[in-house]
A and B are shown apart, each in its own frame.
Chain A
Amino acid sequence: MDLLDKFDSIAALRASLPFEKADPFTVVMEEIISETEAMIGGRRTILAGTNNYMGMTFNEEAIEAAKQALDDFGTGTTGSRSLNGTYLSHKKLEETIADFYGMEHCMVFSTGYQANLGMISALGGKDDFVIIDADSHASIYDGCSMGNATIVRFKHNDVDNMERRLKRLPEDAGKLVVIEGIYSMLGDAAPVKELLEVAKKYGCMTLVDEAHSMGFCGENGRGIAEQEGVEHLVDFYVGTFSKSVGTVGGFAVSNHPKFDVLRYVSRPYIFTASPPPSVVASAIKSIEAIKRGSNRRAHLWENAKRLHAGLKDAGFDLCTEKAESPIIAVHFPDVMIGTKFWEQLIMEGVYVNMAAPPATPAGMFLMRVSVCAQHTTEQIDEIIKRFKTTADKVGLELKA
């Protein structure tokens, strides 16, 4: 029995996609020109699908700090946070993030994915319940599979649907409600205030993943909970360095007095090497820059609104009524026109994410565009223009 046979239907689906000149699954960035441009297939391409929201990948202070850390501490820690992998800089980074969130405690993980795995699997024990949104990121679902809690799922962003489920759970059981501030595929914001208030009414602890909202939501860029003024209802924040912070890694913060015990029980924290010193050093500088980055935040929102309005006016079918985040998702009627569109758009010199089920909700086929604070207004207009040209070339009907 060939163990790979079970993937034959996936391989067939993959092979059936009609790409000729370019393929979204084999994109290679040959040269990175800036936060917003790269060479792809020998073409100068505007990057509009990188999650590099705050444009921190070339922040000068972050680069300098990373170079210094390479010289001083080497290329890697070769060890777990629990053994030889905690350097002074890891502690400094945890302090920086705790300070950024105005909270007492922080744990740094090697990736954002592991932060969710590590938090959810450790918090949700055998007799506990973890209540999640149906459209949660894979890292949340995987954290659930890894732990031993009973998993209850509610309809995406539906407060009543969540409440009906919370009502059915034992009053005195341990309960963790997990939500995301911004959902990564459609770029829609959660009704955090209502969700968290209901969660608290039923005695739940709460975890909010601000992966796609940190940096630009809220006055200090802490995320949607800050923006909506409900930070006091959040027991745990989870976040990542791989989006607004511009490097890689993840974190969890909390005011819980017993928080640090998680360092001894969270397997994705313990059984992996800690982030390399250069990554840690750049993350510290980047988070400091984000904290004072209100101009960047403002420009990012201008870009998001301009792109949303431009595509909407052109007649594209957008997934949100207005720009709720720097993620602007465009809905396509079917796979064939969607794949053709992606291929033509990259030939026109714009890179966006092609998103298909099961990563997307309700079987949707999307072009997921994400903007950067470093995009110029001209670049945003250029993206809109090339979307229109592409629609024309592939025969996508736009709404009048």
Chain B
Amino acid sequence: MAKAETIEKIYELIEPLNKKGIDLAPDVTFASDLELDSLTVMDLVADIEDEFDIVLPLNLLPELETIAHVADAVEKILKKG
């Protein structure tokens, strides 16, 4: 499970896209809960990359369905350094 700090940062980046005002939680999904289309998700990924100074490859995207998935992926990439 990712650190609260990582998840908080991701919440901050999602907030401007959270048009439906969903309560953000680790198990919230991008597609069905937040109703973000794939292009918006890709833009969000770009913001996350810049926030954490990492590369989050496009290939990973299909597996990242929830906020927790993204947070875990971010930490895994940060650890690999």
Contact = CB atoms under 8 A, between A and B. Distances in A.
Contacts of B57: 150-152
5 contacts: A134-B46, A144-B58, A150-B55, A152-B58, A153-B46
Interface residues of A, number: 18
B49 A165 contact: yes
Interface string B10-39: 000000000000000000000000000111
Contacts of A362: 39
B37 A358 contact: yes
Contacts of A152: 55, 57-58
Contact of B54 (A144, A150, A151, A168): A168
Nearest to A164: B50
A358 B39 contact: yes
A127 to B, nearest CB: 13
Contacts of B53: 168
A357 interface: yes
A349 to B, nearest CB: 34
Name, among A134, A153, A154, the residue most crowded by chain B CB atoms within 10 Å (CB to CB). A153
Nearest to B55: A168
B39 A161 contact: no
A27 B60 CA distance: 38
Contacts of A155: 46
A318 to B, nearest CB: 22
B42 interface: yes
Contacts of A358: 37-39
A169 B80 CA distance: 13
A363 B55 contact: no
A134 B40 CA distance: 11
Nearest to B38: A358
Contact of A165 (B43, B55, B59): B55
A153 B37 contact: no
B80 to A, nearest CB: 11
A85 B65 CA distance: 45
A161 B46 CA distance: 9
Interface in B47-71: 49-50, 53-55, 57-59
Contacts of B43: 134
Nearest to B77: A168
Given A358-B39, A361-B39, 10 more contacts: A134-B43, A150-B55, A151-B58, A152-B58, A153-B45, A153-B58, A154-B46, A357-B39, A358-B37, A363-B39
Nearest to A153: B58
A157 to B, nearest CB: 14
A59 B46 CA distance: 46
